[in-house]
Amino acid sequence: ARYLGKDDIRVNLISAGPLRTPAGKSIPGFSSMEDIWVDRAPLHWELADTEPAARGIVALLSDWFPKTTGEIIHVDGGLHSTGH
């Protein structure tokens, strides 16, 4: 973000909770991570629902955040806020 801003390039990241995709399921220990999210996320987390993460991506790519850069947006049902 620091170096690309001069070219009006925004650099942001979506930090999504676990999603039950072929790539996600191939991560060692994924099943134990699934249980933690389902049990502890303040806003219910559905492992098969990619829409919340997709909406975050669409929002960041839209004109709604024209001067947002260098950010990590957590789309994880709020689990990051609980210290887990």
pLDDT, residue 32, reads 84
| Tokens at 61, concatenated | 């790519």
For 2-43, write each residue's pLDDT tens digit.
Answer: 999 999 999 999 999 999 999 988 999 888 888 888 899 999
Q: Which of 82, 77, 83 minimizes the C-alpha distance to 34?
A: 77
Strand, helix or coil at 52? helix
Give the pLDDT band of residue 84 (cuts 50, 70, 90).
Answer: low
For 39-65, write each residue's pLDDT tens digit.
Answer: 999 998 999 999 999 999 999 999 999
Q: Is the pLDDT of residue 69 over 80?
A: yes
Q: Which of 12, 18, 15 minimizes the C-alpha distance to 33?
A: 18
d(CA 39, CA 17): 13
Burial degree of 19 (CB within 10 A; 0-12, 13-18, 19+) = buried
Q: Is the pLDDT of residue 83 over 90?
A: no
